[in-house]
Amino acid sequence: MQTPCIEVKNLYKHYGDIKAVDGIDLSVQSGTVFGVLGPNGAGKTTTLETLLGLKQRDGGMVRILGFDPEKDQAALRHKVSAQLQAPAVFGRLTVKELLRLFASFYHDPLPSEEVLQMVGLQEKQKAPCDSLSGGQKHRLAVALAVAANGDVVFLDEPTTGLDPQSRRQLWDVIATLRHRGRTVVLTTHYMDEAEQLCDQLVIIDAGRIIARGRPRNLLDEHFPHDVLEFDNPGFGDATLARVGELPAVADWSRETGGRVVLHSRQASATIEALQRFASEEGRRISDITMRRASLEDLFLKLTGRMIRQ
């Protein structure tokens, strides 16, 4: 196995009694997209900022490209870039001027035109940065990090507050970075995004890692069953109990609004048996939906809470 691009052991960051980061281990391979998921206040931003050396860690080891960001910050300046907050310097420069200005500080920046295109800000290139909307500023911050063209890019909630189209566009940006062999570390609240984008992820809650792995593997491991849902066509309690004994059904429950949920080891067998059972009972089930468990379900299972509350 190649040496990881980012290595973190037992990272701590406390603010008085608040354990913002409470013993985190990470290992990020270069050329991959690594996700840090968790609810508000979980410690995502604090983790990123301590990894970057912007906040001093209270304990643990951090290596980025072999360097300790607190001691060798100079060595990492040209290799690591980050989008942490909306750009708030030189607000009266135009988007393009600001992008050019930042790019000019790096050894081998991406051309401004290309970056503007990537984040979808070409039409705004002549607008003063101050005049951008929240989402546009957000994209500009990502653009500045991308323009640096370093080996590692940190993105703190790159898609929060974006409209669906811009979100997709940023997914493409991240995919492009990955395609070019860059390492991306991103935080997000969006589980679909993490599933879609990340090679590896950790879910953190209250400063601790509660799950880690490939998104698909994590879900298969925690949710080996398919989830089937349908409206109760009028089955009584006794009949429903018999539904729970149909082939391949592992578990079943009744939800509010008359929905019935089945956890099936093999969806096709269960659906077929269910349809047959229904017609024997003189009923029709026309609305069976099947959904795969999502990271959202995983978070709920692990913590007993929804991720966004």
Ligand X SMILES: Nc1ncnc2c1ncn2[C@@H]1O[C@H](COP(=O)(O)OP(=O)(O)OP(=O)(O)O)[C@@H](O)[C@H]1O
Q: Which residues sit at the interface with ligand X, rule CB under 6 A?
A: 15, 18, 20, 38, 40-46
Instruction: Decide whether 101 or 240 has the Cβ nearer to another protein.
Output: 101
CA distance 81 to 260: 49
Amino acid, res. 208: R
Instruction: Decide whether 96 or 263 has the Cβ nearer to another protein.
Output: 96
The answer to the question of residue 45 lying near Mg ion (CB under 5 A) is yes
The answer to the question of residue 299 lying near another protein (CB under 8 A) is no
Work out how close the CB of 75 gets to another protein at its nearest, in angstroms, rounded to a whole number: 11
Q: Which stretch binds another protein (CB under 8 A): 90-98, 175-183, 248-256, 299-307?
A: 90-98
- Contact yes or no for 101/90 (Cβ under 8 A): yes
CA distance 264 to 166: 37
The answer to the question of residue 270 lying near Mg ion (CB under 5 A) is no
- Residue 146 is classified by DSSP as H
The answer to the question of residue 85 lying near another protein (CB under 8 A) is yes
CA distance 21 to 9: 12
Q: How far is CA 38 from CA 4, 9, 43, 127, 202, in A?
A: 23, 19, 8, 35, 9
Work out how close the CB of 76 gets to ligand X at its nearest, in angstroms, rounded to a whole number: 21
* Interface residue with another protein, options 3, 15, 71, 92 (CB under 8 A): 92
CA distance 187 to 155: 7
Task: Single out the residue of 57, 17, 73 nearest to residue 26, CA to CA.
Answer: 57
Q: Which stretch binds another protein (CB under 8 A): 37-45, 72-80, 266-274, 300-308?
A: 72-80
Residue nearest Mg ion, CB atom distance: 45
Which of ligand X, another protein, Mg ion, none sits in contact with 102, Cβ below 5 to 8 A by type?
another protein
Count of Cβ atoms closer than 10 Å to residue 301 Cβ: 12
Which of another protein, ligand X, Mg ion, none sits in contact with 52, Cβ below 5 to 8 A by type?
another protein
* Interface residue with another protein, options 9, 78, 208, 259 (CB under 8 A): 78
Instruction: Decide whether 45 or 112 has the Cβ nearer to Mg ion.
Output: 45
Beta-carbon contacts of 267 under 8 Å, excluding residues fewer than 6 positions away, are 226, 228, 248, 290
Element (H, E) at 6: strand 6-15
The answer to the question of residue 47 lying near Mg ion (CB under 5 A) is no
The answer to the question of residue 127 lying near another protein (CB under 8 A) is no
* Interface residue with another protein, options 62, 140, 143, 148 (CB under 8 A): 148
CA distance 247 to 276: 12
Which of ligand X, another protein, Mg ion, none sits in contact with 41, Cβ below 5 to 8 A by type?
ligand X
Largest CA distance in the chain: 75
- Contact yes or no for 67/75 (Cβ under 8 A): yes
Beta-carbon contacts of 265 under 8 Å, excluding residues fewer than 6 positions away, are 224, 225, 248, 249, 250
Which of Mg ion, another protein, ligand X, none sits in contact with 167, Cβ below 5 to 8 A by type?
none
CA distance 122 to 115: 9
* Interface residue with another protein, options 11, 36, 37, 76 (CB under 8 A): 76
Work out how close the CB of 97 gets to Mg ion at its nearest, in angstroms, rounded to a whole number: 29
Which of Mg ion, another protein, ligand X, none sits in contact with 46, Cβ below 5 to 8 A by type?
ligand X
Work out how close the CB of 82 gets to ligand X at its nearest, in angstroms, rounded to a whole number: 14
The answer to the question of residue 53 lying near another protein (CB under 8 A) is yes
